[in-house]
Structure 1
Amino acid sequence: MKRLFYILGISGLSWLMVHLARWSGHPLPWLNGHLTDLIVVPLIAQACLVVVQRWIVKRSDYLLPLGYVLFIACYVAVVFEWIMPRYSPRYTGDWLDVAAYFAGAAGYYGWQHWPVALHGTNGEGYR
């Protein structure tokens, strides 16, 4: 449960910082464009993990497999960098955003599975 608060807390505060800066008319140059892209996949993955842990597998030690986390990154990249720019000028296709999605996915997966590797426990999706 502490992991949920760390991910949501850090990501939420980062998101709030970026958006407060935007709303005040002082966007943070690099962070404005890529920090939100970096944290979106971990936020979605954590929300999925909570749903799966509580209502599907009913195990608090279940972790998302790498394929699930990569699917989330691919889905977000396709929707927001390929499909949405075709329909709205608000969205722009940017390869750096795609890189940020996958960096966020890698960071999330590594952070979630680090204690598993540290303690030497085997088992896909479980710690």
Structure 2
Amino acid sequence: MKKKYSYLVFFLIFSSSFMVYLLQQNGCHLPKIINNYYNDLMALPIVLSITLWTARKMKSNPTLQLTFFQCLAMAFLYGWFFEVYLPESNPRYTADVIDGILYVVGAILFYGWWSWNDRNHIS
């Protein structure tokens, strides 16, 4: 039951982000904060969850954890790629400092969630 709870949280985050994406692609009007920032906030929890699951399977270690530094490093790499590199190399992309901050916040939320899970033995 405890493992299902973590999978449920991941599924809710993933499905809500996917729903926002689908609504955007179909021209639906969304509140500005959701339209512009929700998926940026949820990107790192989704990516890091998949990364952690994959690493655990590859290492056959169900207790393997990502460090705080690894989570922040991923956030900074995402920030650099999507907010510095792509806007300079492709006019379709626009740099936004808030997006970069949201990547960091999302990585911290992910790390806090899994740290809390470990302390409470929920996986």
Shared fold (TM-score greater than 0.5)?
A: yes
Q: Please list every run of 5 or more consecutive structure 2 residues that lacks an aligned counterpart in the other structure.
A: none
Report the RMSD for the aligned CA atoms in angstroms.
Answer: 1.8
- TM-score, normalised on structure 1? 0.83
Output one character per residue of 1:82-103: Cα deviation in whole Å (capped at 9) or x when no partner.
Answer: 0000111221111110111011
Question: CA contact under 8 A between 1:54 and 1:60: conserved in structure 2?
Answer: yes
Question: CA contact under 8 A between 1:18 and 1:27: conserved in structure 2?
Answer: no
Q: Percent identity?
A: 27
CA distance in 2, matches of 1:116, 1:16: 27
CA distance in 2, matches of 1:55, 1:20: 32
Using the TM superposition, give the Cα deviation of residue 118 of structure 1 relative to its aligned residue in structure 2, in angstroms.
4.7
Post-superposition, which runs of at least 4 consecutive aligned residues in structure 1 deviate over 6 A?
none
Residue 44 of structure 1, aligned match among 44, 47, 59? 47
**Structure 2 residue aligned with 1:89:** 91
**Structure 1 residue aligned with 2:64:** 62
1:31 aligns with 2:31: no
CA distance in 1, matches of 2:50, 2:67: 14
- Larger mean CA deviation between 76-85 and 10-19 belongs to 10-19
The number of aligned residues is: 118
The residue type paired with residue 93 of structure 1 is A
CA distance in 1, matches of 2:8, 2:53: 12
Does the residue aligned with 1:64 lie in a helix, a strand or coil? Answer: coil
CA distance in 2, matches of 1:30, 1:50: 30
Output one character per residue of 1:40-67: Cα deviation in whole Å (capped at 9) or x when no partner.
Answer: 11111111111211112x1111111111
The residue type paired with residue 114 of structure 1 is W
CA distance in 2, matches of 1:81, 1:26: 25
Using the TM superposition, give the Cα deviation of residue 117 of structure 1 relative to its aligned residue in structure 2, in angstroms.
3.8
Q: Please list every run of 5 or more consecutive structure 1 residues that lacks an aligned counterpart in the other structure.
A: 120-126
Structure possessing the higher relative contact order (Cα contacts under 8 Å, 6 or more residues apart): 2
Using the TM superposition, give the Cα deviation of residue 5 of structure 1 relative to its aligned residue in structure 2, in angstroms.
4.1
- TM-score, normalised on structure 2? 0.85
CA distance in 1, matches of 2:57, 2:120: 25
**Structure 2 residue aligned with 1:19:** 21
CA distance in 1, matches of 2:66, 2:7: 13
